[in-house]
Amino acid sequence: MRAVGTERDRLTVPQGLAALSLDALASVAYGPEAIVLVLAAAGARGLDFTLPVTLAIVVLLAALTFSYRQVIAAFPNGGGAYAVAKAHLGRRVSLIAAASLIIDYVLNVAVSVSAGVAALTSAFPSLYGDRVVICVAVLALITGANLYGVAESAKVLILPTVVFVVAVFTVIVVGLLRSHPVTAPTPVGPATETVSLLLLLKAFASGCAALTGVEAIANAVPTFRKPRVVRAQHTELALGGLLGSMLIGLALLIGHFHVGPNSTKTVLAQLTEAAFGDNAAFYVVQFTTVALLALAANTSFGGMPVLTSLLARDHHVPHVFALRADRQVYRHGVLVLSGAALVLLIGAQGDTQALVPVFAIGVFIGFTISQVGMVRHWRQQRGPGWRGRALLNGIGAVLTAAATVVELIAKFGKGGWLVFLAVAVLVLLFEAVHRSYAGIGRALRVGEVPGPPVQERSLVVVPVGAVNRLTQEAIGTALSLGDEVRAVTVVHPDDDEGPSESHVRQAWDAWHPQVPLTVLSSRSRSLTRPVVDHLRELAAAGEHERLVVLIPEMHLPHPWQRLLQNQRGVLLDRAVRRHTDAVVCRLRFRIELPR
C-alpha cells in the first residue's frame, strides 16, 4: 500500500492493475512451467493434460475473483486475510493468516527474482552458471532502491505491464497461427511414470502458484480513486480475465508446440522462440519479462511493511515496524524481507522451480482463511441477498481449502513441511511478543491515571577534560539545570603523556567556577569505568534523588570534520545508560571552522 496522498494521486483501474496486479500477471512466467515440469514425468501423454489442469486452475481463479470482489465491498478499508480473520475468526486464526502472508511475501521475492534471472539466462545461456550471483545482485538492487526510498509511481508501472501483457498475447496468437515452430522447442523425454490422479493433483498444486497475488487488490482498496469499491472491483475482474486468458492461451500453445521442460531455458522463452524465432522480438519479450518480474518482487516490499505495521499496532511484532514515517525505520521490514529472500535464493541455488511448489501453500492458507471469514461476515450482517454472497464465498472457501489440502498432500515432503514449521514458529513469536507488551503495559500501568509527578532535588555531574570554552558552556548549563553541580575528571597516573592530578587541579582552581571538581585517578586505561563507578557511589550515598550526567561535546558542521571528534561522549553515554539509572544529557557546542 503506497502512502495515501491526495485524491489525484490515487489509482484508476489501469493504474491499479499495474500497481497491484503486476505480481499476479508476472506469475504466468513460472506457473505454466510448474505444470509442465510435473506432467513431463509421464512423457508426451502426461503433457496432454496441461490444458485440463490449467482449466481447473482457471475455474479456481474465477471463484477467487468473484469472492474477492465481495471482500472489496465488505472491507473497503483493506480486507487482507489478516483483517478479515481478526474481525471474524479470532486472534489465533488471524495470526496464522499473517504468518502465511509474511511467508508469501518472502517467497514472492525469491520466486520473482529467480524467475526473472531465468528469463535473462534463457536469452543469454552463458550467464546460467552465474545465476545465483545475478539473483543476489538483483535482490541487492531492489533492496537498495527500497532502503533509499525510490517510490515507484503507478503511472510508470503501466508501460512495462502493458508491454508484457501485449507480448504474451502476441506470442500466443502468433504461435497458434504457425503450423510449425520457428525454432524447435525441447522435446518431451520418455515417460518415467504413468498419468495418475496424484500426478494430476501435483501438477494442479504446483500450477496454483500462478494464482499468487490475486488478493493484493482487496488489501489496498483505500489507494483507489473514488468510487473506490467500484474501481477496485473492476480492477479485480480485469485481473481475473487477463490472467485466466493468458493461462489458457499458454496451455494451448504448450500443447500446440509440444514443449518439454528444459533446465536452462524457461517454457515461456521456448514458446516465444518457437513463435518468433531467435530475433529481436524474442529478446524484447525476455527483457520485458525480466523487468516485470523484478517489479513483481518489488511489490512484496510495498506490501510487507503494511502488514507488519498492522501487526505492530496490535502488539504482535516489535513496535518499530509501526514507525512508518522516518525513512530509516522502513528498514526493519525491508531488511527482514530481503534477508529471508536471500536465504531462500541461495538455498535453492537460484532455481525457481525448487521454490514454486511451496509458494502456493502459504497463499492458499490465506485464501481459505479470508473466504471462511467472509462467510461468517455475511452470516452476521444478514443484509439483503446475504445467502447468495455467503454461498459464493463458501464455494471459494471449499475450493481453496481443497486446493490447500491437495498442495499439502502433493508437496509436504518437498518443502511443504517447512512452510508449516515457519507458520508455527511465526505464530509462537507473535504470541511471545504480545505477552511481553502486555507485561510492559502492566508495568507502565497503561489505562490507569498515574499519580502526580514528583519534583526532586537534583545533582548534575559534568565529566570534563581540560578547562576551555566547552567546559564553561557545560558548567553553565549544568548550573541552569541542577540544584547542585559537580565536575569530575579522570587522570591516569601510569600515563606519562596525559595530564597529572595536580596539573588538572591547578587549572581548575585558576578558573574557580564555584563548582567542586572531583579528580578520579584510575590505573585502568578506561575512561568510562571510573565515571560509572563514581556515579554508582553517588547514587548509593543517596543524598540526591535525581542524578543527572551532562556530557559536553563539540559539534563540527561538516560530516568529514565529525571524524575529528573523539567518541568519548558516545562511549560515556552508552556506559552510563547501561550501568546506572542516571539521566544522561548531551550538550552540543557548535564550532564553525573555515572550509
Residues in region 515-544 near a copy of itself by CB under 8 A? 515, 524-528
Site residues (CB under 8 A) for a copy of itself, limited to 55-114: 77
DSSP designation for 188: P
Give the contact letters, 256-295, x = binds to a copy of itself (CB under 8 A), - = no: ----------------------------------------
Backbone φ, ψ for residue 291 (5° rounding): -60, -45
Site residues (CB under 8 A) for a copy of itself, limited to 550-569: 550, 554-556, 561, 563-568
Closer residue to a copy of itself in complex, CB, 351/484: 484
By the rule CB under 8 A, 466 interacts with a copy of itself = yes
Query: Applying CB under 8 A, which of residues 197, 226, 280, 514 lies at the interface with a copy of itself?
Result: 514
Closer residue to a copy of itself in complex, CB, 39/467: 467
By the rule CB under 8 A, 581 interacts with a copy of itself = yes
List the one residue out of 100, 113, 128 whose CA is nearest residue 345: 113
- What is 12-42 written as a DSSP string? -HHHHHHHHSHHHHHGGGTHHHHHHHHHGGG
By the rule CB under 8 A, 499 interacts with a copy of itself = no
Closer residue to a copy of itself in complex, CB, 92/435: 435
By the rule CB under 8 A, 480 interacts with a copy of itself = yes
Q: Are 297 and 213 in contact (CB under 8 A)?
A: no
Backbone φ, ψ for residue 461 (5° rounding): -105, 130
Query: Applying CB under 8 A, which of residues 103, 360, 482, 538 lies at the interface with a copy of itself?
Result: 482
- What is 394-413 written as a DSSP string? HHHHHHHHHHHHHHHHHHII
Query: What separation, in Å, do the N-terminal and C-terminal C-alpha atoms of the chain show?
Result: 44
Closer residue to a copy of itself in complex, CB, 505/546: 546
By the rule CB under 8 A, 133 interacts with a copy of itself = no
304-326: b (≥16 Cβ within 10 Å) or e: bbbbbbbbbebbbbeeebbeeee
By the rule CB under 8 A, 7 interacts with a copy of itself = no
Q: How many CA atoms lie within 13 A of 408 on its CB side?
A: 13
By the rule CB under 8 A, 453 interacts with a copy of itself = yes
* C-alpha cell belonging to residue 394: 463458501
Q: Are 589 and 554 in contact (CB under 8 A)?
A: yes
Query: Applying CB under 8 A, which of residues 457, 501, 502, 503 lies at the interface with a copy of itself?
Result: 457
523-542: b (≥16 Cβ within 10 Å) or e: eeeebbebbbebbeebeeee
Query: Applying CB under 8 A, which of residues 347, 476, 519, 539 lies at the interface with a copy of itself?
Result: 476
E strand or H helix at 519: strand 517-521
By the rule CB under 8 A, 500 interacts with a copy of itself = no
Place of cell 568529514: 560
Site residues (CB under 8 A) for a copy of itself, limited to 386-445: 433, 436-437, 439-440, 443-445
Closer residue to a copy of itself in complex, CB, 90/557: 557
Query: Applying CB under 8 A, which of residues 36, 322, 344, 410 lies at the interface with a copy of itself?
Result: 322
Query: Applying CB under 8 A, which of residues 14, 76, 318, 394 lies at the interface with a copy of itself?
Result: 318
By the rule CB under 8 A, 379 interacts with a copy of itself = no
Residues in contact with a copy of itself, total (CB under 8 A)? 92
DSSP designation for 416: I
